[in-house]
Amino acid sequence: MGLIHTYVINMLAYMIVALPFYLLVRRSIVKQRKRPVKKSHEILLALFSLYLVGLASQTIIPRWTIGVDISTGKFFFDVYLFNDIASVNIVPFRTITNYMWVNSYVDGWDSISIVNLLGNIFVFSPIGFFIPLLWRRLDSYKSISFIGLGVTCFIESIQYFIGRSTDVDDVILNTIGVVIGYGIFVVWKVFSAYEKTVDLE
């Protein structure tokens, strides 16, 4: 699970750095609109926005390194837009099958298989939960599925140009993750409505 831990730490680092910038921008927007704000909505919007920053850090922000060359003392900032091991897969379920059956048969369920299968599903689940929670007009299976498919297709398209692997199976897994997130939202909404009914009684 060390690989998953690394991804989470990297996402959190980007989210922490983005927090003050988000607060400044959001405060400016709220002031310009001059409308009353709901604290719970603002907290949820902040969490969702920071989550998107974390997601972008692991999907569409190019890999980079920064530091000082010990031998020369010169500062460097390198961005990597090419990767010799990056690949493109346009055959549905090829990668999924490989991780589920071939890898598990040869080496067992290693961390790479878990990250690519479960990670690709659950890292996108918050989209399906937060969007209908924040914008009720999008509270439908059709809307969330369309958004999930659109977001994942956009990400995979960008990855093709920044030295990352592009895989149609990632689109499938990510979209499933968004739908699962929406399913959790629906359960939460039903449970909340039930609680309100009980309280009224």
Domain coordinates in residue numbering, the chain: 1-59, 89-200
Per-residue pLDDT averaged across 127-153, rounded? 96
In our burial notation (b when 16+ CB lie closer than 10 A, e otherwise), range 6-43 reads ebeeebeebbeebeeeeeeeeeeeeeeeeeeeeeeeee
Per-residue pLDDT averaged across 7-32, rounded? 94
Strand ranges inside 33-82, DSSP E: 63-68, 75-80
pLDDT value of position 105: 45
Q: In percent, how much of the chain has pLDDT > 90?
A: 59
Q: pLDDT tens digits, residue range 169-184?
A: 999 999 999 999 999 9
Report whether 95 contacts 89 (CB < 8 A): yes
Q: In the structure, what pLDDT confidence band is assigned to residue 113 with cuts at 50, 70 and 90?
A: confident
pLDDT value of position 168: 96
pLDDT value of position 67: 87
Computed on alpha carbons and rounded to an integer, the radius of gyration of the chain in Å comes to: 20
pLDDT value of position 198: 62
